[in-house]
């Protein structure tokens, strides 16, 4: 079993969907990744920053799931990062209403000593120079570095983003972002171009339409589970990344064959995330529910065709 180092925001979110509205609740990419990966009973640590206003019970809830929080800096007198978003009726698109960086504006991540030898590193969506600084603090090259990013960094810090992309093994990105990054409409061509930028593996997420895994000429498709109830897609991408890296950390196998399973685990975890507001569903998830849903994934995709 490998150790998983996670970097990402730990935040307050306020969310509005066609089904309701929340006040400030627990959010942040690091939180979703950590909660999702913790289902794999691995050693993991979240590196992040919060303000003095961040309730200790939230940190305790992460610790109760065996997540090391010693890398979450608490800034005296500081305010925690706050993000607010409103989803449109299709739930695939959203408007960001508020982004208050607060303590995240001066975030200088410090990797805990006992995680400088982590085998797997998950770089959640943050400024690319922050992501690079984490890579540079590692004692030796991790077995696998996974990077998540978004269009905001392509618009504002493209050169730094290209620098960090060179250093990673896997990039997870959504379809529109892959197109923006490469200027290619075809996702196959976009993946080829991203390979040329560095990553051997490219995961392109397509929301409710699943995810594609590319590794050279190998392509694999993981569906998203058709769900009866979708309340809040916030954090689905991060939860996917947590499932993906949690499974890889548990198995320590970075072959394409195993990565296909990791993508399925990612989709599986994300399917739970969207069923309730915020982190609620992930906080109350059982192993049985995860296994039952994996079976549904198998049933959904298995078919027998005899080629004549
Ligand atoms: P996702 O739905 O996968 O895009 O992730 C949503 C989470 O990302 C929310 O919980 C936010 O707190 C967090 N988030 C939104 N914007 C940023 C940002 N600029 N930097 C870091 N985290 C962010």
CATH (domain of 46): 3.40.1190.20
Pocket test for ligand 1, best of 11, 207, 239 (most atoms within 8 A of CB): 11
Ligand 1 centroid to 84 CA: how many Å? 9
pLDDT at 91: 84
Residue 275 located in a structural domain = yes
Residue 306 located in a structural domain = no
Beta bridge partners of 214: 202, 219
**CA triple 71-74-77, angle to 5 deg:** 165
Assess contact for 290 and 239: CB atoms under 8 A: no
Q: Is the CB of residue 30 below 6 angstroms from any atom belonging to ligand 1?
A: no
**Which atom of ligand 1 lies nearest, measured to the CA of 239?**
3
Residue 26 located in a structural domain = yes
Q: Is the CB of residue 232 below 6 angstroms from any atom belonging to ligand 1?
A: no
pTM: predicted TM-score of the whole model, two decimal places:
0.96
Residue 123 located in a structural domain = yes
| Strands 94-100 and 82-87, sheet pairing | antiparallel
Pocket test for ligand 1, best of 6, 8, 9 (most atoms within 8 A of CB): 9
Q: Is the pLDDT of residue 123 over 90?
A: yes
Q: Is the CB of residue 83 below 6 angstroms from any atom belonging to ligand 1?
A: yes
Ligand 1 centroid to 305 CA: how many Å? 42
Q: What would you report as the CA-atom Rg of the chain, rounded to the nearest whole angstrom?
A: 18
What's the mean per-residue pLDDT of the chain?
96
**Which atom of ligand 1 lies nearest, measured to the CA of 278?**
10
Distance, first Cα to last Cα, the chain: 44
| Strands 94-100 and 120-123, sheet pairing | unpaired
17-69: per-residue pLDDT in tens? 999 899 999 999 999 999 999 999 999 999 999 999 999 999 999 999 999 99
Q: What is the rounded average pLDDT of the residues 69-91?
A: 95
Residue 113 located in a structural domain = yes
pLDDT band for position 79 (cuts 50, 70, 90): very high
Residue 195 located in a structural domain = yes
pLDDT at 279: 97
Query: Atom 12 (ligand 1): residue with closest C-alpha?
Result: 28
Ligand 1 centroid to 242 CA: how many Å? 14
Ligand 1 centroid to 106 CA: how many Å? 17
Assess contact for 112 and 71: CB atoms under 8 A: yes
Query: Atom 16 (ligand 1): residue with closest C-alpha?
Result: 83
pLDDT at 237: 95
Ligand 1 centroid to 150 CA: how many Å? 10
Domain that holds residue 202: 4-301
Query: Atom 5 (ligand 1): residue with closest C-alpha?
Result: 235
Domain count, the chain: 1
Ligand 1 centroid to 101 CA: how many Å? 11
CA distance 278 to 244: 20
Query: Atom 18 (ligand 1): residue with closest C-alpha?
Result: 126
CA neighbor of 285 nearest in space, from 298, 272, 299, 276: 272
Residue 307 located in a structural domain = no
pLDDT at 119: 97
pLDDT at 236: 95
Q: What is the rounded average pLDDT of the residues 296-302?
A: 92
pLDDT at 229: 83
Q: Is the CB of residue 28 below 6 angstroms from any atom belonging to ligand 1?
A: yes
Residue 8 located in a structural domain = yes
């Amino acid at each position: 079993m490998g150790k998983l180092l996670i970097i990402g925001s730990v935040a307050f979110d306020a969310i509005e969907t066609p089904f309701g509205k929340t006040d400030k609740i627990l959010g942040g990419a690091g939180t979703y990744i950590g909660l999702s990966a913790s289902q794999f009973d691995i050693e993991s640590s979240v590196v992040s920053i919060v303000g003095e206003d961040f309730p200790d019970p939230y940190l305790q809830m992460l610790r109760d799931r065996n997540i090391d929080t010693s890398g979450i800096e608490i800034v005296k007198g500081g305010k925690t990062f706050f993000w607010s978003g409103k989803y449109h009726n299709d739930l695939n698109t959203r408007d960001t209403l508020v982004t208050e960086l607060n303590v995240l504006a001066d975030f200088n991540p410090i990797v805990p000593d006992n995680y400088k030898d982590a085998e797997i590193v998950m770089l959640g969506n943050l400024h690319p120079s922050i992501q690079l600084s984490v890579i540079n603090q590692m004692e030796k090259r991790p077995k696998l570095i996974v990077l998540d990013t978004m269009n905001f960094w392509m618009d504002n810090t493209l050169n730094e983003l290209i620098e960090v992309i060179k250093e990673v093994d896997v990039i997870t990105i959504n379809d529109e972002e892959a197109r923006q990054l490469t200027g290619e409409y075809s996702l196959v061509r976009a993946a080829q171009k991203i390979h040329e930028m560095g990553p051997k593996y490219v995961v392109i997420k397509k929301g409710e339409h699943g995810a594609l895994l590319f590794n050279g000429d190998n392509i694999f498709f993981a569906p998203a589970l058709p769900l009866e109830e979708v309340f809040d897609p916030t954090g689905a991408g991060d939860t996917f990344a947590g499932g993906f890296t949690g499974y890889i950390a548990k198995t320590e196998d970075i072959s394409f064959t195993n990565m296909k399973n990791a993508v399925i685990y990612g989709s599986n975890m994300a399917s739970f995330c969207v069923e309730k507001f915020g982190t609620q569903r992930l906080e109350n998830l059982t192993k049985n529910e995860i296994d039952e849903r994996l079976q549904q994934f198998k049933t959904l995709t298995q078919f027998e065709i005899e080629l004549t």
